[in-house]
Amino acid sequence: MADDRRWMYDGFDKTGGKAHSAEWRKKTQAFIDHAFAGKTHYLDQVRCPCNEHNNGKFVTKEELTKDLVNYGFMPGYETWSFHGEKETRVETEVEADDDSAGVDRMDEMLEALQPEFGLNSEDPPPKEVEEFFKLLQASEEPLHEHIKVSLLAFVTRLLAIKSKYFFSNKCFNDLVQLIGDILLQPHKLPNDMYQCKRLTKALGMGYKKIYMCPDGCMLFCDDHVDEKKCLHCGKGRYVKVINEDGDQVTTAVAQKPLRSFPMAPRFKRLFLSTETCEPMRWPKEGVRNNLGFMGHPADSDAWKALDEFDPEFAKDARNIRFDLATDGFTPFKAKKDSFRKDTVCYEEPPKRLSAQEILDQLARLKLNEEKTAYEGFGKEHNWTHISGIWDLPYAEALKLPHNIDVMHQERNVAESIISTCMDFSDKTKDNVKARKDLAKICNWPTLVLTASGARVGGPVQFRWMFHIERVLKYLRAMVGNKARVEGCIAEAFILKEISYFTSVSFAEEYNVNAPTMRYNVDEEPSASDLPIFQSTGASASASSPYYFKSGKRVSAYLYMHANMKEMDPYFEEFQRQNWTSKKQPTSKQLDKMR
C-alpha cells in the first residue's frame, strides 16, 4: 500500500510555493471525492488528514481542499483508516482468530460524537468534555488484561440486556457482583448500576428536571426559578408535612417534577450512524421508484405546504419534521356521555377547521372575571388552555393540525363487523336497539367516502397509533415502583436510548436489539392433507378458551365445509338431486336449501 501512495509526499511542493505535481493534484482530488462519497462523514464533514490537523479536526469539503494544498498530507497516512479503509494488520488478526469474528465498533461511535463536544476547541475543556475523555479511555481500556472486550463495550452491552428484559436494579447489581467474583483480579468491572451509569453519562443522554405547579399551571424555571408558589393558582411548590411537634413545615422536596428530555442532541444522534442517517435524509434525497404513488409523508399536501411556507428550511435535507402523539385525547366538542351505552348522539360531526381558523378562534378567547376559565366554556367552545404550539411561527401553515387515529376506528369497526357476522352474543351490533338507531340517525344518501385525509396527511401507516401503542406498552412495563411512575419511566427510557444508540456499534451476534424473526421459520408438519389445515395460525395476544354450544358448533362445521374445495363435488351432487327448477339457483336459494 505504501508504494501505491508515494505520490502523497513525493508530488507535494515542500517549499511553500504550491507547485504541486499534476499527479498529486489529480489523486488528491480523487481522495477528497472518496472521503465525502463514503460512509465516514459526520453530517457534511470529515477528518482532516493534513500535516497541520493530523485527523484531529472535522472540516468541510472546501476546507479539506484548502488545508491539503497548504499543508500536505500528515506523515505515515498511506492507509486511509479514518476515511473508509481498514488497517491490514487488523484484518489479519480477525482472520487468524475465530474468537474475534464479532468486532465491536465503539471507537467509530465515539469518533462521530467528538464534533458535538467541540474537542477541537482551544479553550479549556468543560466538564462534559472531561467526562467524554473518560469515556474514550474506557473504550480503549480492556475489562481484564486477558480479555479483548473493552470496559465500555461490556457495560453498554450489559445495560442493553437490562433495558430489554426489564430486570430490577438489585438484580443488575447482583449480576455485576457475580461476574466480578468470576473474573480474576485485577479487573475494571464497575461495582454496581450507579457506576455503570456514571461511565455512560458522557454520551449526553440524560434529562433535565424542572419543577412545576401541582396543577400544571406554570414551570418554576427561567425568571421564575426561585418562586415558592404558583403565580396563577397560589399553590405551594414544595411538599408540606407535620413534624414531631405537630407543626406544619415546608420541606425542600418539590410536589411535582417535570423531566425534560432535550430534543436537539437526540436528533443529532440520528445522523451519527449511517443506518439512521440515510432514512433521515431520504425525504429530500431519496429516489422514488413509483412516481405518481404516495409512499411517504413527504408526498402529502401537508408536507408540501410547509415546504412552500419556508423554502429555505426545505432546502436542507437535515431539517426534519416530527409529530406529537397522545393517547386518550378527544378533540371533539361532544361530551363523553354521548358515547355511553344506551345513549344516542344526534349532534352533527365537528366542522373541519384549518390552522388559521383555529388561530382565529383562540384569538377571540377571553378569561372570565374570576380568571379561572374562558368565557363561553362548555357552550361555545371547550378550550381550557391555549397550547404553546399555536405560538410557533409555522402554525398557520399546518394543513393537518391534528390527526384522528385510524387504528382505533379500524379496530372498532372491524370488531363490530366480525362480531355481528359471527353472531357473538355479547358483542354483536345486530339487535333491536341498533336497528332503531339506524332508522333514526342513518341517512344513506348523504354518506360520502373521501380520500382527502390520505391526500393531506400521507400514507396512513405513518400516522396511526399501532407503533405508539407498542411504545406505551413498553413504558408501562418499565414501572417498577408504583409510587414513582414518572421517575421509573424516565430512568428506564434513558437506558433504552443508550442501548439503541450503542447497539449500532455492536457486532451483530452481540446485539440484543438486532431484529429477529417474528414467526417460527420451521413449522411443524400438518396433521391433515386438506389445504384448509395447511396454514398454522398464530395468536396475536393472550388466548382464552371458548366453548361452542351445539348450534354454533354445527354452524362452524357447515362454514368450514362450505369453504373446502374438496366438498364441491358433494355439493354439486346434492344440488342436482334436490333442485328441480330448470333455472340455476341463486346463492341465497342454495344457502336456504342446504
User: Which SS3 state, helix, strand or coil, does residue 261 take?
Assistant: coil
Q: Which residue has the higher pLDDT, 198 or 123?
A: 198
β-pair type (248-254, 46-47):
unpaired
Comparing 101-110, 145-154, 268-277, 315-324, the range with the smallest average pLDDT is 101-110
What pLDDT score was predicted for residue 537? 64
Residue 100 reports pLDDT greater than 50: no
Q: How confident is the model at residue 212 (pLDDT cuts 50, 70, 90)?
A: very high
What pLDDT digit, counting tens, does each position of 535-573 carry? 666 666 667 777 777 777 888 887 888 888 888 888 888
What pLDDT score was predicted for residue 211? 92
Question: What's the DSSP call for residue 171?
Answer: H
Amino acid at 157: R
What pLDDT score was predicted for residue 97? 40
What is the per-residue burial (b if ≥16 Cβ within 10 Å, else e) of 548-586? eeeeeeeeeeeeeeeeeeeeeeeeeeeeeeeeeeeeeee
Q: What is the largest CA-CA distance in the chain?
A: 110
Q: Compute how many other C-beta atoms are within 10 angstroms of the C-beta atom of residue 327.
A: 11
Instruction: Give the Cα separation of 495 and 497 in Å (integer).
Output: 5
What pLDDT score was predicted for residue 443? 56
Residue % of the chain over a pLDDT of 90 = 7
* Cell numbers describing residue 88: 491490514
* Cell numbers describing residue 514: 438486532
What pLDDT score was predicted for residue 370? 80
Residue % of the chain over a pLDDT of 70 = 77
What pLDDT score was predicted for residue 175? 92
Residue 101 reports pLDDT greater than 50: no
Among 21, 155, 166, 225, residue whose Cα is nearest residue 498: 155
- DSSP state letters, 507-529: -GGG-TTS---SS-SSPPPPS--
Q: Exposed (0-12), middle (13-18) or buried (19+): which is 494, by Cβ within 10 Å? A: buried
The four Cα atoms 139, 143, 147, 153 give a dihedral, to 10 degrees, of -40
Tell me the average pLDDT across 151-160. Answer: 86
Is the pTM higher than 0.85? The answer reads no
Residue 86 reports pLDDT greater than 70: no
Provide CB contacts within 8 A for 587, sequence distance 6+: none
Comparing 39-53, 309-323, 469-483, the range with the smallest average pLDDT is 39-53
Tell me the average pLDDT across 415-419. Answer: 78
Amino acid at 183: L
What pLDDT digit, counting tens, does each position of 466-475 carry? 888 888 788 8
> What is the Cα Rg of the chain in Å?
33
Q: Compute how many other C-beta atoms are within 10 angstroms of the C-beta atom of residue 285.
A: 9
Q: Which residue has the higher pLDDT, 250 or 126?
A: 250
What pLDDT score was predicted for residue 343? 52
Instruction: Give the Cα separation of 541 and 465 in Å (integer).
Output: 17
Q: Which residue has the higher pLDDT, 178 or 402?
A: 178
- DSSP state letters, 65-133: HHHHHHH-BPTT--S-TTTT---HHHHHHHHH-GGGSS---HHHHHHHHGGGGTTT-SSPP-HHHHHHH
Instruction: Give the Cα separation of 477 and 495 in Å (integer).
Output: 14
The β-bridge partners of 381 are 377
Q: How confident is the model at residue 340 (pLDDT cuts 50, 70, 90)?
A: very low
What pLDDT score was predicted for residue 237? 92
Q: 135: phi > 0 → left, psi -120 to 50 → alpha, else beta; which?
A: alpha
What pLDDT digit, counting tens, does each position of 21-70 carry? 888 999 999 888 888 875 444 446 788 888 888 876 778 888 889 999 88
- DSSP state letters, 315-346: H-TT--------SS----SS-GGGGSTT----
Residue 396 reports pLDDT greater than 70: yes
Question: What's the DSSP call for residue 203?
Answer: G
Average pLDDT, the chain: 77
Residue 117 reports pLDDT greater than 70: no
What pLDDT digit, counting tens, does each position of 228-283 carry? 999 888 899 999 999 888 888 989 889 999 999 988 888 887 877 777 888 888 88
User: Which secondary structure element, helix H or strand E, spans residue 481, and what is its range?
Assistant: none
Tell me the average pLDDT across 174-192. Answer: 89
User: Which secondary structure element, helix H or strand E, spans residue 420, and what is its range?
Assistant: helix 406-421
Top-confidence range, 80-89, 301-310, 485-494, 551-560? 301-310
